[in-house]
Amino acid sequence: KPVSAGTKFDLGDAPPPAPPSGTKMEIQVVSPPPPAPIPAPPPPTPAPAVAAEPLRPKPPKPKPARLSFDLNGVLDAHRNWVLSRGTEGARATLSRQNMTGTDLSGAVLTQSDLTYCRLTGAECSEARLDGADLRYADMAGADLTEAVLGAARLRHVNLADATLKGANLRGADLSGADLRGADLEGAQMHGAILLDTLIHDTDLSSAEGLTQAQINKTRRNPNSKLPPGLRLNLPEAEQPASPSP
């Protein structure tokens, strides 16, 4: 159709001119910025270590108590009772007696009744106490060197600071007993029951017959000394503090 002169064209509606043939178009791709790194969580705060407790001082030896009974007569009657298998003599029943500092060295008290007896600082070296009932007895600071305590009933007995060198504790029931600061050098502890036995500051380094299972049932602290090959296995909060650099 012929266009008359003076006709105006609206170039805004016209498509953009096509690029010349053979021209390459470059398209710039803008990559998004990398994500910010996630900070690592802070390391857990270690539990504060507990410093080793100072060793307990040894108490002084008490004065011997004045006995209210004939000790030699009781010991003689009990010896006859043991030797005759109960047909002669009489069993020693000394429950709740105050025998503080009493000399019982070498005494034969097999299967005797010494429950709740006070034997603080008593001299019991080489005494025969096998099978004796010593539950809740107070034997703190007693000398039980080479005493025979096999199969003795020692539940909740107080043996703090006692000397038990070479003592025979085979099969003894020491459940709940207090052995703090006791010396058990060479003590025979094969099969002893140590459930909740308190061994704070106790030297068991040369005791014989101990197993890890026995130690795991005790109440112990960093000052408890064990035979080679056995571990304290303390809870983390009770581990000894590391030395300062």
Task: Decide if 34 is inside a domain.
Answer: no
159 within 8 A of 187, measured Cβ to Cβ: no
Task: Decide if 177 is inside a domain.
Answer: yes
pLDDT at 3: 47
Residue 128: phi and psi, rounded to 5, are -95, 105
Query: Rounded to whole angstroms, how far apart are CA atoms 128 and 108?
Result: 5
Task: Decide if 88 is inside a domain.
Answer: no
Task: Decide if 80 is inside a domain.
Answer: no
pLDDT at 60: 77
Task: Decide if 57 is inside a domain.
Answer: no
Q: What amino acid occupies position 122?
A: A
Indicate the length of the chain as a whole number: 245
120 within 8 A of 98, measured Cβ to Cβ: no
Predicted confidence pLDDT, tens digits, the chain (245 residues) = 554 555 555 555 555 565 555 555 565 656 666 776 777 777 766 655 555 555 566 677 788 889 999 999 999 999 999 999 999 999 999 999 999 999 999 999 999 999 999 999 999 999 999 999 999 999 999 999 999 999 999 999 999 999 999 999 999 999 999 999 999 999 999 999 999 999 999 999 999 999 999 999 999 999 999 999 999 998 765 666 555 55
pLDDT at 69: 93
The per-residue pLDDT for range 4-60, each reduced to its tens digit, is 555 555 555 555 565 555 555 565 656 666 776 777 777 766 655 555 555 566 677
DSSP H or E run through 35? none
pLDDT at 14: 55
Could you tell me the pTM of the whole model? 0.73
DSSP secondary-structure letter at 87? S
DSSP 137-203: -B-TT-B-TT-B-TT-B-TT-B-TT-B-TT-B-TT-B-TT-B-TT-B-TT-B-TT-B-TT-B-TT-B
Query: Rounded to whole angstroms, how far apart are CA atoms 107 and 138?
Result: 18
pLDDT at 43: 72
What distance, in Å, lies between the first and last C-alpha atoms of the chain?
A: 103
Query: Rounded to whole angstroms, how far apart are CA atoms 227 and 241?
Result: 22
Domain interval for residue 213? 93-228
> Helices in the chain by DSSP H: which ranges?
71-83, 212-216
227 within 8 A of 206, measured Cβ to Cβ: yes
**Considering its fold, how many domains does the chain have in total?**
1
| Helix/strand/coil percent split, the chain, to 5 | 10, 10, 80
Task: Decide if 65 is inside a domain.
Answer: no
Task: Decide if 179 is inside a domain.
Answer: yes
| Residue the block writes with tokens 């108590």 | 65
Query: Rounded to whole angstroms, how far apart are CA atoms 222 and 52?
Result: 6
pLDDT at 140: 97
The per-residue pLDDT for range 71-82, each reduced to its tens digit, is 999 999 999 999
| CA angle at 142 for the pair 96 and 123, rounded to the nearest 5° | 90
Dihedral (CA of 236, 53, 224, 127) sign: negative
Query: Rounded to whole angstroms, how far apart are CA atoms 44 and 203?
Result: 35
Query: Rounded to whole angstroms, how far apart are CA atoms 28 and 244?
Result: 61
